[in-house]
Amino acid sequence: MSTTSAQTKSTNAFLAQAAIAFGISFSANTIGIVYLPLDIWQRGFLLMTTLFLVSSCFTLAKVVRDQHESSKVHSRIDEARLEKLMAEHDPFKVVG
């Protein structure tokens, strides 16, 4: 009794779309900061918050991915234990 877990993998098109969307949004934000009629300190604040937001998004994405992978490993271990118990079980064995 072998079960294969379906591996979900992003397509190249999805990866390209995500990278393009990130590049456009980051560029638009940076261009907006540069061309806003603000003092240098206000621009610096907006730039720092933008960089902090980007790094926080990457960290959050990594944590979510790691938790998902961890849960997949635990479920595989549980499946392996169950398969081992089922393989070792003999329903015709007389207990007594």
List, run by run, the mean pLDDT of 10-residue segments along the chain (96 residues).
56 89 94 93 94 92 86 75 78 71
Distance, in Å, from the CA atom of 49 to the CA atom of 44, rounded to the nearest integer, reads 9
> Which spans in 1-96 are helix H?
12-35, 40-88
At residue 89, what are phi and psi to the nearest 5 degrees?
A: -75, 130
Give pLDDT, residue 94.
Answer: 72
- Is the Cβ–Cβ distance between 33 and 50 less than 8 Å? yes
pTM: 0.58
Q: What is the dihedral of CA 23, 25, 31, 36, to 10 degrees?
A: -170
